[in-house]
Amino acid sequence: MTASKKLIVVIPTYDEAENVGRMTEAIFALNVPGLNLLIVDDLSPDGTGRIAEELATKHPGQMHVMHREGPRGLGFAYKAGFRWALEQDADYVVQMDCDFSHSPKYIPQFLAYIEDYDVVVGSRYVQGGKTDEVWGVGRWLLSWWANSIYTRLILGVKTMDTTAGFKCWRRETLAGIDLNRIRSQGYVFQVEMAYVTERLGYRVLEIPIYFPDRQVGESKMTMKVKIDAALRVWEVLRRHRHLHPSDRLTA
Ligand SMILES: Nc1nc2c(ncn2[C@@H]2O[C@H](COP(=O)(O)OP(=O)(O)OP(=O)(O)O)[C@@H](O)[C@H]2O)c(=O)[nH]1
Ligand SMILES: [Mg+2]
């Protein structure tokens, strides 16, 4: 990334009071020129939004907090955050979780590769990628199968980590995808974005990351959520199977 470019890191939060401070400092400690941070909080009951506001006063002009009202959801939060980033004239947008499963240390690598691709994806399931050591073989196999086999074969995509949530977008890619097309929440939001990206013919690069489990804060992940996500992949297929590169939204 050249010095004159603007990067906005978008982090959605829901009950991340224990992580948001450490994550903010880790992001700014990268000292990436032109880096801005947007926290998109869905009125977290644990006060994450208020803590983020306090942090923003320490990084004037570089950190913004959005407080969403109405129904909460990862998809709603990301769409609002991406739209804001585009309005702020970001050249590049990074999306990531607040719980340190996505290490900020990969951001400079993303920025090096984004010069030649339309989106760079931090992937657990390409060579060199890795999940937390505490995962047993069964958990790893189920996740690998769901991402790299089940979802990938239904949608016919090349992406191996179809639910990856750590990505660096070029602004043209996010604009061309047309966020109005994207309807899903949770894991399926990532799947739908990945599918539309490939249907529209954008150049995707997956780079390996190590994905540790969240250390603090509560997990909202249940088997019901996983099964629901698996079934919704079919909806994503039906909704977007007819898309072609000529359907990119042009300004
Ligand atoms: N704004 C907003 N953020 C959310 C919502 N749900 C989850 N998040 C955030 O999205 C990111 C990913 O969510 P996680 O809870 O880590 O999901 P996960 O990694 O599948 O599951 P665990 O790490 O096991 O909890 C985190 O930064 C969350 O705080 C939501 O409804 N609204
Ligand atoms: Mg997590």
Cα 163 from Cα 68, distance rounded (Å): 23
User: How close is the Cα of 99 to the center of ligand 2, in Å?
Assistant: 6
CB–CB of 87/166 below 8 Å?
no
CB–CB of 40/56 below 8 Å?
no
The pLDDT tens digits of the residues spanning 60-82 come to: 999 999 999 989 999 999 999 99
- Residue ranges of the alpha helices (H) in 88-185? 107-113, 137-144, 152-155, 171-177
Q: What is the mean pLDDT of residues 14-29?
A: 98
Question: Ligand 1 within 6 A of 14 CB?
Answer: yes
Residue nearest to ligand 1 atom 29, measured at CA: 13
Question: Ligand 1 within 6 A of 99 CB?
Answer: yes
The kind and range of the H/E element at 122 are strand 119-123
Please give the pLDDT value at position 220.
80
What is the residue-wise DSSP string for 188-228?
A: HHHHHHHHHHHHTT--EEEEE-EEPPP-SS-----HHHHHH
Please give the pLDDT value at position 2.
67
The pLDDT tens digits of the residues spanning 7-18 come to: 999 999 999 999
Residue 3 reports pLDDT greater than 70 = no
7-242 topology per CATH: Spore Coat Polysaccharide Biosynthesis Protein SpsA; Chain A (3.90.550)
SS3 content of the chain, % helix, strand, coil (to 5): 45, 15, 40
The pLDDT tens digits of the residues spanning 135-193 come to: 999 999 999 999 999 999 999 999 999 999 999 999 999 999 999 999 999 999 999 99
Residue 22 reports pLDDT greater than 80 = yes
Phi and psi at 37, nearest 5°, equal: -120, 135
Q: What is the best residue among 13, 20, 167, 218 to mutate for testing ligand 1's pocket, by most ligand atoms within 8 Å of CB?
A: 13
Residue for token digits 């942090």?
A: 55
